[in-house]
Structure 1
């Protein structure tokens, strides 16, 4: 009797900012490995989400959203990280939003065009399409003149269409054993995730005031018995931004810390004692050397 064939490999997840790439990866992995918010460029780092199934393993490369040429160092670093994610992958997903294709979607497609790997067009957020009769013509128009291995409508938040997506992706991957143990879900450390959970709350709560002017650095990460003791520094660029993060009487900073701590406890399976500080470092987001010290572009 023939044994079932097992497929495993890497899949780059590419798209313009805010199309739901991180939400899609979390849904496929079945656990939160990438932070989310409704602010563009919430994802700033290349990271792996490891989705294991009976028939195979898909190693998803989460990337910052690709956007047009920008003057700021942060944007240049993020664009390089997104394009660099294509190196050495077995396949790719181009994620777009149902009902919308704009210049930045074209930029993302152009980045994939010469990658030499099969590309699946994933049309996310189909649950938001009120008139379902408009969906098929949009899918046909999006695929017209573009060489996709498949075109699949999904909803990451509703977990709709994911089974078909998994089957399609696995069919594009080589026959080989799993690349990671099936109990691993990311290549990133808990220390890294702790910083991301704090930054997620900054983006969710203060995205309008501080869309890109805040970063998080973990200064302390220790397991003390059954409790993690974590110290996180929130870096901003001006004293006025520091005041915004702290809030009246420290209320905003406490709320950020509380929600980040609860997410850490849920993800780490331990109690967490979290301390947060806010410090000013002028011009860090437009200084590539400063960005490297904060872990960007590595």
Structure 2
């Protein structure tokens, strides 16, 4: 499905080598319900944090590509938003992008929560996947959280896999158990192909995008249900100096009450968010960071296609 024409334009500093004989490559879509551990799995596979994780469902918004290069293959993982019933324009854009990913990759990894039995949300995705010709692997995540007798849980997924002739594999994205065999199975499903990216690259996303995601992750972690998904981040300015990188970012919310929660009493919450995000950004760029955050109210931005586009959320082509 992929071709040499799909190779992205990269700066002259990044060299894409010639692939050795027998080398495999391809795009792998990670599909599943919200909060089944797709982003955690991608981070585990590529070996470092590129996708944000949160106990809050529907964390992933953009189709984030993580890249794993081994001596045998280059696996490009597309982490999609959790497929769910949308309740606003943002939700519709996210679900539409996830559906587009189903037919635009070489292999699909359908990730489910292996700690609970298959439910209606899983079967909804099964129905979507049954209409594609893309090879599918059913991945049971969270085996570290399974009860001692997991036979009943496993059987509900084994029944789905058998009906559709999908290969099933169990793993824990959190602990890494079973991830190596999963990686091997995914590699086996790829066709011979070129390097699409330089071997040492782990994501195709620019640093500014990752910075914004790291700030949003801390908001989700620190405010939980108080400011769930009514938040978007724009990186307004990045100033690089020899000893420090200065980052100026704006947090967009829908209501004045959410702005109050994010700032907190005497600015304590915003300070906590900034401090935690700064630590994560310092790991990303491997250097000292000064981070300044601003909060701006954008009423009903999730309902407006124009606002969504301005904030970087648009339907994939």
Range into which the TM-score falls when normalised by the shorter chain: over 0.9
Question: Is the counterpart of residue 105 in structure 1 residue 104 in structure 2?
Answer: no
- 2:272 aligned with 1:288: no
Asked if structure 2 preserves the Cα contact closer than 8 Å seen for 1:74 and 1:291, the reply is yes
- Is the CA contact (8 Å cut-off) linking 1:212 and 1:285 kept in structure 2? no
TM-score, structure 1 normalization: 0.95
Q: Map of 1:207-226 to 2, 5 A cutoff?
A: 207-226=224-243
1:145 deviates by 1.5
CA contact (8 A) 2:117 2:154 kept: no
Q: Counterparts in 2 of 1:164-203, with a 5 A limit? A: 164-203=181-220
The residue that corresponds to 1:67 in the other structure is 84
Per-residue deviation at 1:100?
A: 2.8
Q: Which consecutive unaligned segments of at least 5 residues does structure 1 have?
A: none
- The CA distance in 2 between the partners of 1:109 and 1:227, in whole Å, is 49
| Stretch deviating more after TM superposition (193-202 or 132-141) | 132-141
Counterpart selection for 2:100 from 78, 84, 91: 84
Aligned to 1:268: 285
Aligned match of 1:137 in 144, 149, 155? Answer: 155
Aligned counterparts of 1:66 and 1:41: Cα–Cα separation in 2: 8
- Contact kept in structure 1, 2:67 and 2:75, CA below 8 Å: yes
Give the Cα–Cα distance (whole angstroms) in 1 for the partners of residues 232 and 314 of structure 2.
14
Runs of 4+ aligned residues of structure 1 deviating over 4 Å after TM superposition are none
Gap regions ≥5 residues in structure 2: 1-19
Q: Distance between the aligned counterparts of 1:226 and 1:113, measured in 2?
A: 54
* Distance in 1 separating the partners of 2:249 and 2:132: 38
Write the deviation string for residues 90-122 of structure 1: whole angstroms up to 9, x where unpaired. 111000001232222122222322221110000
TM-score norm. by structure 2 comes to 0.89
Shift of 1:47: 1.3
Q: Equivalents in 1 of 2:145, 2:46: separation in Å?
A: 23
1:29 matches 2:57: no
1:147 to 165, 170, 187: 165
* Distance in 1 separating the partners of 2:63 and 2:309: 14
* In 2, Cα distance between equivalents of 1:271 and 1:182: 26
Following the alignment from structure 1 to structure 2, what is the Cα–Cα distance between the partners of residues 225 and 111?
Answer: 51
Question: Could you say if the C-alpha distance between residues 133 and 77 of structure 1 is closer, same or farther in structure 2, counting changes exceeding 3 Å?
Answer: closer
Shift of 1:225: 1.8
One of 271, 277, 282 as aligned partner of 2:294 = 277
Count of residue pairs the alignment pairs up: 294
Q: Secondary structure at the match of 2:191?
A: coil
Separation in 1 of the partners of 2:150 and 2:232?
43
